[in-house]
Amino acid sequence: MTAFVGVEGVSKWVAEKGAEKVIGELTDYLADDYVRWEEFDKKPRVASHSEVGVIELMPAADSKLYGFKYVNGHPANPARGFQTVTAFGALAEVHNGYPILIAEMTLLTALRTAATSALAARTLARKDSKKLGMIGSGCQSPFQALAMRSALGINDLSVWDVDAKAMETFAAHAKSLGFNVRIATSAADAVDGVDVVTTCTADKALATVLHDCDIAKGMHLNAIGGDCPGKTELETSILHRPESQVFVEFEPQTRIEGEIQHCSPDFPVTELWTVLAGQAEGRRDSEAITIFDSVGFGIEDFTVLRYIHEKMADSAYMEEIDIIADPENPKDLYSLIAAQG
């Protein structure tokens, strides 16, 4: 039998455990997998693009486990009553190829994206960071706020979105979670005087959400919205400032999809895992502008599936499903049909 956890199970389990605690634990799981990055079979996501969005498969494997995620990204979906992003995933044992877990991954993607931002921030941001500026207040925003509090203890934040209703919804969630929230008048206003910036917009366009003049020395930026070809959020000159250091997940993928997609092939970047493994320098000094150009990578999905499989195993929210045709004689598949006669 294969374990299964659906949306209701994940929702109840996270609510019971506490979303901030889950993000904190998942951040540690990610750190463990990032340190052993070289052990993984790594591939860029397989993407099928259309005029209205993208559908992707994101695989990753080590010597024991294989995982993948199916995920879409359709920016216009909310106007039609659909989610921008939905996902599901699977985890299998390498030795026989049998799936051991099938899981919803819309919520899990939000959690793993937040945990990845938390990992980057606690590795690269100034340790005295106190304020967060958020550009984009969609579905991901409460998770990102909790991630920064989990990683850095940040409780004060400002937010800007072109959708006033989305800002109000986020502010209500954030205040209920104990944050001090300021609704900004513009993107520039949202990042004025903050230490950490998260950009998370959904528009599939070459946007300039933040300009060079908006970014102060010493900031850390989690740029997580620019995640496919033709989609960016930052003015390119921010990346080229003398103070700027750019960090990525998997360089071959980020060169195609991230903020650096318009930079020259020799534009210097550092893969985050090398910092965590002690192979590369992180933040140079207090005036450095550290930029995590995050596009999402399959190892992060592998990690959240591994985390859920281990942590939810004894919960009431995980069930077993009959998904593998496994006859007593491995060479007699027809016997399963014959037995029904």
Cα separation, 154 vs 162, in Å, equals: 24
* 3-class SS of residue 95: coil
One-letter amino acid at 70 equals: Y
Q: Digits of tens for pLDDT over the chain (341 positions)?
A: 899 999 999 999 999 999 999 999 999 999 999 999 999 999 988 989 899 999 999 999 999 999 999 999 898 999 999 988 899 999 999 999 999 999 999 999 999 999 999 999 999 999 999 999 999 998 899 999 999 999 999 999 999 999 999 999 999 999 999 999 999 999 999 999 999 999 988 665 667 889 999 999 999 999 998 766 777 889 999 999 999 999 999 999 999 988 999 899 999 999 999 999 999 999 999 999 999 999 999 999 999 999 999 999 989 999 999 999 999 999 999 999 999 98
Structure tokens at 231: 């989609």
Domain 2-108+299-338 and domain 127-296 have a common topology: no
Is residue 227 flagged as an active site residue? yes
Cβ 96 vs Cβ 224: under 8 Å: no
Q: Where are the alpha helices (DSSP H) in the chain?
A: 7-17, 19-35, 106-124, 141-152, 164-176, 187-191, 236-239, 251-257, 272-276, 298-311, 335-338
User: Would you list the domain boundaries of the chain?
Assistant: 2-108+299-338, 127-296
CA atoms within 13 A on the CB side of 35: 11
The CATH code that applies to domain 2-108+299-338 is 3.30.1780.10
CA of 224: how far to CAs of 64, 135, 233, 306, in Å?
A: 30, 10, 9, 23
Eight-class DSSP state of 306: H
The dihedral sign for the CA sequence 192, 142, 200, 35: positive
pTM, rounded to two decimals: 0.94
Fold annotation for 127-296: Rossmann fold (3.40.50)
CA of 31: how far to CAs of 43, 51, 239, 250, in Å?
A: 19, 36, 25, 15
* Active-site entry in 227, 266, 293, 322: 227
Q: Nearest CA to 304 among 15, 32, 72? A: 32
